[in-house]
C-alpha cells in the first residue's frame, strides 16, 4: 500500500465524525449512524484505491451503503480489504456519552478476516505481554502473566471489561484476584486498543463482543506491536454455516493476531466523535469552525500519528447540517 493512503483514510474518518457529531445527545442513534455512513461513503469516492468492503454495515440487501462486497475508491491504486464502522457507538452519540469514534481498517487484499456479524471472545494486550497470552488460560493466570510482563503488582494492573451481564462472573474473578476493573459501556474498539497505548494505563482487555469490531481492533493492535487472540461464538446453526461460508473451516478455532490480520501491512484510522480512552471528541468552536482529533497507524512502519484538524463547515457542503 502507498504511504499517502494512510492520510487519505483519515479524511474519511474525519468526515464521518463531523457528520455524526451533529447528532450528539439528540437521542436519535439511527440518524447519527446514517449521517456517519453517508459522509464516509462520499469521501471514499475520492480515495485512490480499489477497495472491497469485507466488514461493513451488513449485506447488500441490509445496507444501502458500505455493504459487504461493495467496491470503494476511485478503482485506481492498491487493491485492499476494508473494514469499516462509520460510527462505533450509535447509542453513545444518542445519549451524549463518551468513547464514540469513526473507525476504518485497510489492509492488502485478502489479508483481513471476513468476520460475520456475531459474538467474538477476545483478549488484547500491549507489546510487553505480546506472545505470552492465551485466550484459553484462566483469567487469574493471564493477570499474573500480564502483571509480570508490564512490571506491575497485580493490585496495580487495570483490566478493561465491557459492562454486560455476560461478564459478571469474569468481573468478579478479576476483582477477587486483586486487579483493578475498568468498566465501559459501548465501543470496544477503543477499549481494546487502549491496552497497547501506555498513556491510557490499561493493561488487559478481555470479554465477548462484536466480531467485526475485533478485526478492526486487530489492525491497530498489530501496528502498535501488541497482541490479540479471539474465537467466534456462533449461537445458532445458521451462524456456524455462515462462518464456514466466509472461509473458516472450524467456526470455533482459536484465532491468532495473524489470523485476524494476516498481512504485514495494515492501516488503522479513527476520529473521535465524543471524548474517550483513545481520542478527544469533535469540538464545535463557534461559528462554522470545528476541531477533530484523529489517530492513524500503519503496521508495516509502526508509525503512529495523532492529528488535530480545524474544519470550516461552510467549505464542506457534503455534510448535512442538523
Q: Is 57 annotated as a binding residue?
A: yes
The secondary element (H helix, E strand) that includes residue 93 is: helix 90-95
> Is residue 260 within 8 Å of residue 228, measured between CB atoms?
yes
In whole angstroms, give the CA distance from residue 281 to residue 273.
Answer: 4
> Is residue 89 within 8 Å of residue 99, measured between CB atoms?
yes
Q: Is 203 annotated as a binding residue?
A: no
Give the chain's radius of gyration (CA, Å).
19
DSSP letters spanning 44-96: HTTS-SEEEEEESSS-TTT-SSS-TT-EES-S-S-EEEEEEEEEE-HHHHHHT
End-to-end CA distance of the chain: 37
Q: Is 213 annotated as a binding residue?
A: yes
Q: Is 33 annotated as a binding residue?
A: yes
Q: Is 164 annotated as a binding residue?
A: yes
Q: Is 186 annotated as a binding residue?
A: yes
Q: Is 188 annotated as a binding residue?
A: yes
E-only strand ranges, the chain: 50-55, 71-72, 79-88, 101-108, 119-125, 158-162, 180-184, 204-210, 227-232, 266-272, 283-286, 289-298, 303-312
Residue in the block written with cell 492501516:
267
> 269 pairs with which residues across the strands?
104, 296
In whole angstroms, give the CA distance from residue 116 to residue 106.
Answer: 17
**60-67: Cβ within 8 A, 24+ apart:** 63/37, 65/37, 65/38, 65/41, 66/37, 66/40, 66/41
Q: Is 280 annotated as a binding residue?
A: no
> Is residue 126 within 8 Å of residue 196, measured between CB atoms?
yes
Q: Is 119 annotated as a binding residue?
A: yes
Q: Is 70 annotated as a binding residue?
A: no
Q: Is 272 annotated as a binding residue?
A: no
Q: Is 88 annotated as a binding residue?
A: yes
Binding positions for substrate are: 88-90, 119, 164-166, 186-188, 210
Binding positions for Mn(2+) are: 33, 57, 85, 88, 213
Binding positions are: 33, 57, 85, 88-90, 119, 164-166, 186-188, 210, 213
Amino acid at each position: 500500500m502507498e504511504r499517502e493512503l494512510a492520510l487519505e483514510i483519515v479524511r474519511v474518518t474525519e468526515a464521518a465524525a463531523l457528520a455524526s457529531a451533529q447528532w450528539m445527545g439528540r437521542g436519535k442513534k439511527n440518524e447519527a449512524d446514517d449521517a456517519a455512513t453517508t459522509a464516509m461513503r462520499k469521501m471514499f469516492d475520492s480515495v485512490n484505491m480499489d477497495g472491497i468492503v469485507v466488514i461493513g454495515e451488513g449485506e447488500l440487501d441490509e445496507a444501502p451503503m458500505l455493504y459487504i462486497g461493495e467496491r470503494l475508491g476511485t478503482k485506481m491504486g492498491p487493491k485492499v480489504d476494508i473494514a469499516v464502522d462509520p460510527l462505533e457507538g450509535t447509542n453513545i452519540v444518542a445519549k451524549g456519552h463518551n468513547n464514540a469514534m469513526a473507525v476504518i481498517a485497510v489492509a492488502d487484499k485478502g489479508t483481513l478476516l471476513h468476520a460475520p456479524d456475531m459474538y467474538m471472545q477476545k483478549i488484547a494486550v500491549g507489546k510487553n505481554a505480546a506472545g505470552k497470552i492465551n485466550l484459553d488460560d484462566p483469567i487469574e493466570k493471564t493477570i499474573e502473566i500480564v502483571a509480570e510482563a508490564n512490571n506491575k503488582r497485580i493490585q496495580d494492573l487495570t483490566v478493561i471489561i465491557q459492562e454486560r451481564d455476560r461478564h459478571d462472573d469474569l468481573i468478579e474473578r478479576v476483582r477477587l484476584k486483586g486487579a483493578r476493573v475498568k468498566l465501559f459501556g459501548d465501543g470496544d474498539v477503543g477499549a481494546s486498543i487502549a491496552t497497547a497505548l501506555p498513556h491510557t494505563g490499561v493493561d488487559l482487555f478481555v470479554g465477548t463482543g462484536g466480531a467485526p469490531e475485533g478485526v478492526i481492533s486487530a489492525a491497530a493492535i498489530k501496528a502498535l506491536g501488541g497482541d490479540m487472540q479471539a474465537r467466534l461464538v456462533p449461537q445458532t446453526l445458521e451462524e456456524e454455516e455462515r462462518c464456514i461460508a466466509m472461509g473458516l473451516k472450524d467456526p470455533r478455532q482459536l484465532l491468532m493476531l495473524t489470523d485476524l490480520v494476516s498481512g504485514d501491512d495494515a492501516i488503522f484510522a479513527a476520529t473521535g466523535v465524543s471524548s474517550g480512552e483513545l481520542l478527544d471528541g469533535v469540538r464545535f468552536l463557534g461559528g462554522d469552525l470545528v476541531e477533530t482529533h484523529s489517530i492513524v497507524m500503519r503496521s508495516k512502519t509502526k508509525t503512529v500519528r495523532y492529528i488535530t484538524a480545524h474544519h470550516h463547515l461552510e467549505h464542506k457542503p457534503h455534510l448535512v447540517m442538523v
